[in-house]
Structure 1
Amino acid sequence: MVSEVDFQIGRILDALEKSGKAGNTIIVFTSDNGLCVGEHGLLGKQNLYEAAVRIPMVICGPGIPQNTVRDAYCYLYDLYPTLCGLAGIGVPATVKGISLEETLRNPEAGKREDILLTYINLQRAIKKDGFKLILYNVDGQRHPQLFDLKADPMELKNLYDDPAYREKREELTALLYARMKAAGDFCDPAKPDWGYPGKLDWKQVVQVNP
C-alpha cells in the first residue's frame, strides 16, 4: 500500500513538472484517520488514542519553508483558510477553521492551544501542552485516562489516579467541559451518562442536532 501511494503521488508530481505548473502549485498530502491495528488491543479507529486520531500532513509549494516540521495543533478543516491565504484568496466568513499560514512560516506561531476530540456519545478527549485526557461514557462505565504524550507517546501509562497529576487532571477536565459546551456538543457532562446512557445507533446519530 505504501509503495502504491508513493507511485501514484509520483505520477501527479511528474504531470505537474511536465505541465510547467509545479513551481506555482501548492501540494498537500494528508489522509483520513488511521487504525490501531492491535495497539491497545484494538483493530479499528473507534477510539481517541493517537493511532486513531493523528494523521500525516505534508504541505509544500512556493513560499513554504522546505524540510521543516511544525509542532502545532490543528484540524483538517484548518486547511481551507490556510490554502486561501497561501493562494491570496479571501476566506468566507462562514469558515470556522484557523489558517496555518503564519505557522508554516514561523514555528513559534501556533494558533490552537488545545484540541477537542470526540467519538459519538461514548468518548471525549482534550489535548493540551503535550497531555491528553480521555473520558468515557460506555454503559455506565467511566475508566478515565490521562497521558503524558511526550514521555509516553504510545499511551501506555495512565496517570489519571496519580496524585502528582491531580491539578493537571482537574485543569483538563474543566477545559474539556468548556470546549464541549462552546462547540455545542450534544453530550452534556452535567447530566447522568451525558444525557445518553446507551450507544447511539446510526438512526439516532443522524437525528442529533449538535
Structure 2
Amino acid sequence: MDEEVLLLGSWGSPFSRRVEMALKLKGIEYKYIEEDLTNKSPSLFKYNPVYKKVPVLVHNGKPVVESLVILEYIDETWKDHPILPKDPYERAHARFWAKFIDEKSSIAGFKACCWGEEKEREKAKEEVFEKLQFLENELKEKRFFGGENIGLVDITGNIIGYWLGVFEEASGVKLLTREKFPKLCNWADEFVSAIKENLPPRDKLLATLRRRLGGANASK
C-alpha cells in the first residue's frame, strides 16, 4: 500500500528542517510544500488550525503538528534507523534534553543577548552560557547526544549546531566558543558535516537573519 507523506515547511526554519532530517535519515519518501509565512496557505490553516505554524506532517491525510511530536510520530511509524532509544529510561532521558533545547536554549535566548540595555544583554548571555554548559556536560565523551548515531537530541539540537553559528555571524555576538564549550563545538562540527545536505544555504540564511536583526534594531 502506497503511503502519502506531505511536509508543510519553511526553508529557513530549524523546526521544519528537523522533520526533513528525520524523514531522510529513515529513507522515507515525502512531498515538500514550501509555506510563505507572510501569506499562509489554506492548507496550513486546514491542517494546523490551532497554531497555524510549520512544520506540519500529513500522513495519509492525517496531520501531525509541532516538531518534537512529529519526530516521535515518525520514529514510531517507521521503525528503521531509530532516532529514540528502545530503553524506556533512555527514551525519557532523550525527551528531557530535546525539550530542554526547545524551552531553554532557543533562538529567543540568543536574540536576548543582542537587544535591550547592556545589563539585560549581559544577563541574557550568562543564562545562555549556563544552558550551553548543561549540554556540554551531557555530551560527556560521546560523538553525538545519541551515542554513535544521530538521535532525537541531535536533530533537535540543529538550532545550536547550525542556526546559532549563523545568528552569531549576523549579530556579531559570540556565544558558542571552543574555549568555553569544546565538546559542544566538536559535536556541532561533526553533526553539521553529517547532515549538511539537509541544511539551508548559509549565505541565504545569514542575509535573512541580518535583515531581521537590522529591522528589529531600527525599530527600537
TM-score range, shorter chain: under 0.3
State TM-score, norm by structure 1.
0.28
Higher relative contact order (CA 8 A, sep 6+): 2
State TM-score, norm by structure 2.
0.27
More helix, by proportion: 2
Which is greater in Rg?
Answer: 1
More strand, by proportion: 1
